[in-house]
Structure 1
Amino acid sequence: MNNIKNFDNITKNLNALGGWIFKEVIGIDYVVDYDYEENCIALLILSFHVQVINTGQRFKLKIKYFNVSELSIRKITNLYLTRSLIVHDKKELGWETSQRYHVHDDSGYGEYDGYNFIEFYCSSIEAVSLEEL
Structure 2
Amino acid sequence: MYFLAAIKNYDTITAKLNTLGSWTYKEIVGIDYDVDIDFEDNYTTVLTLSFFVSVIETGRRFKMKIRYANVSDFSIRKITNLYLTRSLIVHDKEELGWDTSQRYHVHDDSGYGENDGYNFIEFYCSSIEAISLEEF
- Change in 2 beyond 3 A, CA 1:39/1:96: same
Who is 1:85 aligned against? 88
Q: Greater helix share, 1 or 2?
A: 2
Residue 25 of structure 2, aligned match among 22, 38, 53? 22
Q: Which runs of 5+ in 2 are unaligned?
A: none
Q: How many equivalent residue pairs?
A: 132
- Change in 2 beyond 3 A, CA 1:7/1:35: farther
Q: Which runs of 5+ in 1 are unaligned?
A: none
- Change in 2 beyond 3 A, CA 1:35/1:10: farther
Alignment TM-score, normalising by the size of structure 2? 0.91
Map 1:1-133 → 2, pairs under 5 A: 1-34=4-37, 39-91=42-94, 93-98=95-100, 99-133=102-136
Identity of aligned residues (%): 69
Alignment TM-score, normalising by the size of structure 1? 0.93
Instruction: Give the CA RMSD over aligned residues.
Output: 1.4
- Change in 2 beyond 3 A, CA 1:26/1:67: same
